[in-house]
């Protein structure tokens, strides 16, 4: 299950199950969102993105859902594998003034896949 507390939120699933990682974003004006996967000792790796004019986008084994009404983003991973174990960050692209943008990351969720 999922737990949120003083430490990094965690999600533990069995291999082969589907995983859902949730994220609440802060700025209703944000129009572009990205999910990153960060494995131990590595930098964040781009997984999938979505623009605010869409509510769903699919990739290979991954789906991102966007609910602008409640400012919520989710990442669904189908048939989760041990190699999916990592920290997952959502990020929103925020206008920082003029035509410049910067990424702001969510807290992250640690996904652990049990064989």
Question: Binding residues for other proteins, per CB under 8 A?
Answer: 7-8, 31-32, 34, 36, 41-46, 49, 51, 89, 93, 95-96, 99-108
Question: Which of residues 19 and 108 has its CB atom nearest to other proteins in the complex?
Answer: 108
Question: Which of residues 72 and 105 has its CB atom nearest to other proteins in the complex?
Answer: 105
Q: How far is the CB of 106 from other proteins (least distance, A)?
A: 7
Q: What angle do CA 33, 9, 32 make, to 5 degrees?
A: 5
Q: How far is the CB of 76 from other proteins (least distance, A)?
A: 19
Question: Which of residues 14 and 26 has its CB atom nearest to other proteins in the complex?
Answer: 26
């Amino acid at each position: 299950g999922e737990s949120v507390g003083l430490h990094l939120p965690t999600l533990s699933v069995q291999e082969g199950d589907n995983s859902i990682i949730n994220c609440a974003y802060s700025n209703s004006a944000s129009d572009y969102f990205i999910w990153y996967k960060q494995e131990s000792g590595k930098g964040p790796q781009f997984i999938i993105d979505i623009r605010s004019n869409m509510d769903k986008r699919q990739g290979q084994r991954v789906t991102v859902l966007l609910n602008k009404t409640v400012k919520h983003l989710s990442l669904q991973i189908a048939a989760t594998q041990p190699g999916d174990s990592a920290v997952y960050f959502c990020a929103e692209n925020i206008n920082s003034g003029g035509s410049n943008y910067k990424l702001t990351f969510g807290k992250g969720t640690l996904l652990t896949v049990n064989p």
